[in-house]
Structure 1
């Protein structure tokens, strides 16, 4: 029988999130394609007010660099 690491805190244990942020690069064309496909942008405060983010928790995020056309 294989033993897996079990949740020792019970059913309602919170997941441990990775503290490292992934760095990704998007071009302006990539962003435009995402917006055309239905993506939207809002500030953190707007997202909290709309109920998309919990103000007491850091969500999984990435750091985005925008690559300008050459």
Structure 2
């Protein structure tokens, strides 16, 4: 196959999603952010209803909706 096979394999790999949403069947509603540290935690990775503490600085993180959800995340 050579070059053609390598290109084909690379294209297949780039189009396959490895996101948690598709792996688990759950859809994310957004993520928690620490704007000071630029840390991000997907909402599916957070347990409970309270905003988590930032793993870097310990401050409470802010929830922001994903672009695909309805409404403004402002």
Instruction: Output the TM-score relative to the length of structure 2.
Output: 0.23
Q: Compare the two structures and name the one with the higher helix fraction.
A: 2
Greater RCO (Cα-Cα under 8 Å, separation 6 or more): 1
